[in-house]
Each structure stands twice: as C-alpha cells, then as structure tokens.
Amino acid sequence: MSADTPLSKERPNPAVDGSELIRFDRVVKRFGANTVLDELDFSVASGKHVTLIGPSGSGKTTILRLLMTLIKPDEGTIKVGGAYLTHEEKNGRLVPAGEKHVREVRKNIGMVFQQFNLFPNMKVLRNITEAPVTVLGLPKDEAEQRARDLLDLVGLGDKCDAYPTQLSGGQQQRVAIARALAMRPQVLLLDEVTSALDPELVAGVLDVLRDIAHTTDITMLCVTHEMNFARDISDQVLMFDAGRVIESGPPEKIFSDPEHERTREFLSAVL
Ligand SMILES: Nc1ncnc2c1ncn2[C@@H]1O[C@H](COP(=O)(O)OP(=O)(O)OP(=O)(O)O)[C@@H](O)[C@H]1O
Ligand SMILES: [Mg+2]
C-alpha cells in the first residue's frame, strides 16, 4: 500500500512481516456454568486474513468481543501486537490492566458489527470523524479528509451529509466499514457483517471487503457464513467447535478436504 492511500499507517506497525498480531493463550471464557472458550489457543499473523467458522453458539462472537474488550477472559491471556490486552507487566508480574493501557492496545483493533451500530444523530461524515478526533486527537480537517477518502473507497463519496436512516442497510454497513478503517487499526474484526442485509445488498458490501482485503495490508479476522467470500479472501480458515479450534488450514483444504467429521458435518449443512 502506498503512503497516500486512505489506509496508510502513521503509527509503528508490525505490518506484513508475518509476525503474530493476535495471540490467544489458554483463554477460558465462561458464562455461568457454560464454558464457551475452553483453554483456547490461536494466533493470527499480521497481514493475514483469517476466517472463523463453526456452529451457532460455538463462541465466534465471544472471541471478537474479547478482542474489543467488551468482555474479559476468566483465564489466560490475549496479546495484540506483542502487548497484553487485558494485562500489564508490572515489576515482572502480570497484573490486570488499567483502563489507559487497555485503550492504548485497543486502538489497534477495529470492528464492524452485524447491526452496523452507526450513531443515528450524526451525519455520515461525523460518524466517521468522531473517533479519530476524540480518541486519536486528529485535527478536524484531517479527519474529514480521511473520512472523504474512505467514503470514496466504499463507494459512498456522495453521502457525507446523509443521516444513517436515509441510507440502505448495505450503505450503512459500508459507512460502518469506513468508520472502522478511519482509526487505521492494524486488525479489522468482522462479525457476520452481511447477515442483517437484504440479499440484494450483500454483494456490494462483500465487494468492498474483497477490495480492502486484496489492496491493503490490513489484518482481518472474520466470522462469516458466506463461504464463497471466505474462500476468496482467507489465507487461513479456523473451524471452531466446543470452545476450541478443531481444525485449521488454507480454504481450499478446509472446504474441499477437511480432516474432521465435525467440519464435514458443519460444511455440508452450510454449503
Ligand atoms: N453475555 C452473555 N451472557 C450469557 N451467555 C452468553 C453471553 N454471550 C454469549 N453467551 C453464550 O455463549 C455462547 C457463545 O456465544 P457466541 O455469541 O460467541 O456464539 P457464536 O459462535 O457467535 O454464534 P452465532 O453463529 O449464532 O452468532 C452461547 O452459548 C451464548 O448463549
Ligand atoms: Mg455470533
């Protein structure tokens, strides 16, 4: 990616050197008696596009919500860009992280949700500039230029002054993608971003994401039921069941010749 694209990075970045950008180490997450993640280990190399697949309720969204620090792990550690996400090292010991540390590490992560979650009272441009101005301290005119460039990238250059309710679901989701990218995260988390859309709007959103996957070096961790899309963009597919990754590999292997019966069953139900 060249220095003047909307996604170029100003902050130091492990970029696409293949180093680990995300690492889960024996992560346990329980909701009451329900152990959703059971000593989960997995990692995502920087610059890669990784897709999580698995049955409903298996914990895919939980993984993304842990990364967004919307919830905390009960045991184990998560690292992003080499830094602990919910822990800090103090005097050689690992202690729960303070809010400031969490905010700093989380700046590297952007997420697009199934339900868009745009700010309804703000015009499209302000939806995108709000966090870069308030969280990153970007000057307003710079944030607006960045927002306009990103709106062009997602094909909505003419919608700066619209309110979210004046847009179709597919357009709103493309604004949400632009909004996440405006923070220049190292990793973009995508949780079934097309599943709330009318069928005819799905392709436009997937095209934007394909474009981003193929033309930028952003790392992607994606949960999707769109298996063709997963096949197109993924470097690696992780099959997830009962709190663990049971199988992983390149999409051509997982989709055509999976090792596990459980993966075969799951794919035959969704493909
Ligand atoms: N806040 C919560 N309180 C209690 N249980 C929860 C909570 N969030 C998730 N769970 C439970 O954790 C399990 C995993 O949920 P999660 O949303 O991660 O699944 P998923 O793999 O994303 O499923 P889907 O494909 O349907 O989106 C489910 O059994 C769910 O009921
Ligand atoms: Mg989910």
Count Cβ atoms below 10 Å from residue 69 Cβ, excluding itself.
18
At residue 230, does pLDDT exceed 50? yes
Structure tokens at 48: 């890669």
Q: Is the CB of 61 under 6 A from ligand 1?
A: yes
Cβ burial of 147 (10 Å; 0-12, 13-18, 19+) is buried
At residue 10, does pLDDT exceed 50? no
Q: Is the CB of 224 under 6 A from ligand 1?
A: no
At residue 11, does pLDDT exceed 50? no
Output the CA–CA distances (angstroms, integers) from residue 259 to 66, 222, 247, 249, in the order listed. 28, 22, 7, 10
Q: Is the CB of 31 under 6 A from ligand 1?
A: yes
pLDDT band, very low/low/confident/very high, at 3 (cuts 50, 70, 90): very low
Mean pLDDT across the chain, nearest whole number? 91
Which-ligand-closest: CA of 240? 1
Q: Is the CB of 243 under 6 A from ligand 1?
A: no
Is 85:72 a contact under the CB 8 Å cutoff?
no
**Residue located nearest, by CA, to atom 18 of ligand 1:** 59
Is 14:186 a contact under the CB 8 Å cutoff?
yes
Q: Mean pLDDT throughout 93-120?
A: 91
**Residue located nearest, by CA, to atom 6 of ligand 1:** 31
At 109-124, the pLDDT tens digits run 999 998 889 999 999 9
What pLDDT score was predicted for residue 271?
80
At residue 16, does pLDDT exceed 60? no
Q: Is the CB of 195 under 6 A from ligand 1?
A: no
- Could you tell me which residues come within 8 angstroms of residue 11 by beta carbon, excluding any fewer than 6 positions away? 184
pLDDT band, very low/low/confident/very high, at 182 (cuts 50, 70, 90): very high
At 43-68, the pLDDT tens digits run 999 999 999 999 999 999 999 999 99
What is the rounded distance in angstroms from the CA atom of residue 260 to the CA atom of residue 135?
A: 44
Identify any residues that bridge with 84 across adjacent strands, giving them in sequence order: 79
% of the chain beyond a pLDDT of 70: 93
* Atom of ligand 1 lying closest to residue 29 CA: 12
Output phi, psi for 60, to 5 deg.
-65, -50
**Residue located nearest, by CA, to atom 26 of ligand 1:** 56
Q: Is the CB of 96 under 6 A from ligand 1?
A: no
* Atom of ligand 1 lying closest to residue 240 CA: 21
Cβ burial of 268 (10 Å; 0-12, 13-18, 19+) is exposed
% of the chain beyond a pLDDT of 90: 77
Least confident of 15-24, 149-158, 173-182: 15-24
Question: Greater confidence, 106 or 147?
Answer: 147
Q: Is the CB of 56 under 6 A from ligand 1?
A: yes
What pLDDT score was predicted for residue 89?
86
User: At residue 156, what is the residue type?
Assistant: L
What pLDDT score was predicted for residue 2?
41
What pLDDT score was predicted for residue 270?
86
Q: Mean pLDDT throughout 129-157?
A: 96
